[in-house]
Amino acid sequence: MQKRILVAGGAGFLGSHLSERLLSDGHEVTCLDNFGSGQRDNIKSFEDNPSFTLIDGDVRNPGALPPVDRIYHLASRASPADFTDFPVDIALANTKGTHRLLDHARACNARMVFASTSEVYGDPEVHPQPETYTGNVNIRGIRGCYDESKRFGETLIRSYQEEYEMDVRTVRIFNTYGPRMRPDDGRVVPTFVTQALRGDNLTIYGDGKQTRSFCYVDDLVRGLVSLMRAEDVDHDVYNMGRENEQTIKQLAKKVIDIIETNSEIIYEPLPEDDPSRRCPDISRARTELNWEPTIPLQEGLQMTVPYFKSRK
Ligand code: NAD
Ligand code: UDP
């Protein structure tokens, strides 16, 4: 059945892929975005679709929003490179912005999905990370504006659920990559791919032994939709990501091989509080939502490179 869906952050990397999928499923989509880290180009292919409406606005203070049946809250800068320059924007998008959208969901009796993050686990002491792990976050560190605001966003959601019995679901997203990330976003995949395409050296922070697990965007979008669609869920929070733990050095070598460049690897200082290991435990999503990623890293990178080639 057709739904009216608000995608906050709909001009961003994940939000634009999600909006495109929802439009192709026949829904009406309203995108709320302030273009802080989003790009107009991301919505170009569907901006003229009559079922699509753009509100150029801030989730922290969105003004009047249309009545909707579903809300996805993805409006937050997500790159660690932005944590130093935009800490207040980030902290409030995930707290005040979540508050605003919860009020709107409550007024419309809408179901909501909140995009939380693996960063709620901080530098994890438990491996891989299940949803029950409560994390190890430095609340006053450089990543605190992001990690802790996502954590409080989750707390606010729990509070609204307790008091108003609302249907709000949280997804803790692990590193996801693909076309439409900004080449200068600062996150590792767009950075390495852009450096390799330009023949520049790839900048590994630290010794490159830290790990991440990389999920291709199409798999993640399928997960977001399945979480929203499920009529009954046994839990209100799900990890989503791929379980292919890689060192950053392995990733750099993979990018160099795929692009066949003469770029070399250089080492730069590791930023403060950079998590040393990260890998999701996705048993809950696999069992309860029947969701798991299917696209291997090699294949996902090959689908990503042409986009960055056109942008370099
Ligand atoms: P992105 O930066 O491409 O997208 C974020 C979008 O939100 C952008 O279009 C930006 O302009 C918009 N935005 C930011 N602050 C806003 C504000 N105050 N008001 C209105 N719009 C605002 O990043 P992304 O990777 O697509 O991330 C989307 C969401 O998913 C974020 O909430 C992020 O925390 C979460 N997430 C992403 C990843 C990932 O690996 N991509 C991992 C964990 C969590
Ligand atoms: N990283 C790197 N070089 C870069 C960008 C990132 O070595 O040019 C590292 C970063 O220090 C981290 C990992 O790659 O260990 C993933 O970084 P990203 O910013 O993509 O996301 P994070 O998982 O840290 O939020």
85-115 pLDDT per residue, tens: 999 999 999 999 999 999 999 999 999 999 9
70 alpha carbon – ligand 2 mean position (Å): 32
Q: What percent of the chain has pLDDT over 90?
A: 98
Binding pocket residue ranges, ligand 2, CB within 6 Å: 80, 175, 187-188, 191, 203-205, 210, 212, 248, 271, 274
**Each residue of 227-267: pLDDT tens digit?**
999 999 999 999 999 999 999 999 999 999 999 999 999 99
38 alpha carbon – ligand 1 mean position (Å): 8
Counted domains in the chain: 1
CATH number (domain holding residue 91): 3.40.50.720
Measured between alpha carbons, how far is 186 from 112 in angstroms, rounded to an integer?
A: 29
Q: What is the 3-state secondary structure (H, E, C) of 176-230?
A: EECCCCCCCCCCHHHHHHHHHHHCCCEEEECCCCCEEECEEHHHHHHHHHHHHHC
3-state SS, residue 302: helix
- Sheet strands (E) in the chain: 4-8, 28-33, 52-56, 70-73, 111-117, 168-173, 176-177, 202-205, 211-213, 215-216, 237-240, 245-247, 265-268
7 alpha carbon – ligand 1 mean position (Å): 11
In a domain, 198, yes or no: no
- Provide the pLDDT for residue 117: 98
pLDDT tier, 169 (very low <50, low <70, confident <90, very high otherwise): very high
202 alpha carbon – ligand 2 mean position (Å): 12
- Annotated active-site residue 146? The verdict is yes
Of all ligands present, the nearest one to the C-alpha of 83 is 2
In a domain, 209, yes or no: no
pTM: 0.98
Ligand 1, atom 1: nearest CA belongs to which residue?
12
In a domain, 255, yes or no: no
In a domain, 19, yes or no: yes
- What six digits make up the tokens of 298? 């090699």
Q: Is the model's pLDDT at 13 over the cut of 90?
A: yes
Q: What is the domain extent for residue 31? A: 4-180+215-243+279-295
Of all ligands present, the nearest one to the C-alpha of 93 is 1
- What six digits make up the tokens of 208? 């490159």
- Averaged pLDDT of the chain: 97
Q: Which of 72, 121, 146, 160 is catalytic?
A: 146
In a domain, 15, yes or no: yes
- What six digits make up the tokens of 297? 């890293």
Measured between alpha carbons, how far is 72 from 68 in angstroms, rounded to an integer?
A: 11
In a domain, 160, yes or no: yes
- Provide the pLDDT for residue 312: 74
In a domain, 119, yes or no: yes
Pocket test for ligand 1, best of 35, 65, 76, 238 (most atoms within 8 A of CB): 76
In a domain, 249, yes or no: no
pLDDT tier, 73 (very low <50, low <70, confident <90, very high otherwise): very high
Binding pocket residue ranges, ligand 1, CB within 6 Å: 9, 11-15, 33-38, 58-60, 74-78, 89, 93, 97, 115, 117, 173, 175-176
